[in-house]
Amino acid sequence: MSVKITDICIACGACIDECPVEAIVDDDDNPNDDGCYFVYNDKCVECVGHNDEPACATACPTEGCIVWDNIVEAQPHRDDIGEDKRTSHTPVVE
Ligand code: SF4
Ligand code: SF4
């Protein structure tokens, strides 16, 4: 499982300190070098066991920048989020 930061990101930095597992890196450390923050999907646990919903998405001031990404094998994920929402287009927080 994971969430994903899309190119709507304005690199404000509000999400990074909210992540309980340090899965987020800033635009300087983004391996895609696209000016956005980035979530390592092999680290993100969708905040399962930490928060009722993904804390990064709750903190993000944009509309829909953070979306549901594919499930990563062996990682915890939110069972109620089906494949239909893991299209890299469905915002975590509407
Ligand atoms: S959903 Fe939670 S664990 Fe995943 S990147 Fe956001 S804050 Fe970190
Ligand atoms: S809170 Fe949202 S806009 Fe700000 S850096 Fe994180 S993903 Fe980007």
Q: What is the pLDDT of residues 34-68, one digit of tens each?
A: 999 999 999 999 999 999 999 999 999 999 999 99
| Residue 39 φ/ψ, nearest 5 degrees | -110, 125
CATH code for the domain of 73: 3.30.70.20
Query: Domain for residue 92, yes or no?
Result: no
Query: Domain for residue 75, yes or no?
Result: yes
Query: Domain for residue 90, yes or no?
Result: no
CA of 87 to the centre of ligand 1 (A): 17
Is residue 88 pLDDT above 90, yes or no?
Answer: no
Pocket, ligand 1, Cβ cutoff 6 A: 3, 18-21, 23-24, 39, 44-47, 54-56
Which range marks the domain in which residue 75 is found? 1-79
Query: Domain for residue 93, yes or no?
Result: no
Is residue 1 pLDDT above 70, yes or no?
Answer: no
pLDDT in tens, 66-86: 999 999 999 999 999 999 999
- Please state the domain count of the chain: 1
Query: Domain for residue 87, yes or no?
Result: no
Cβ-Cβ contacts under 8 Å for 77 (sequence gap 6 or more): 1, 2, 45, 46, 48, 71
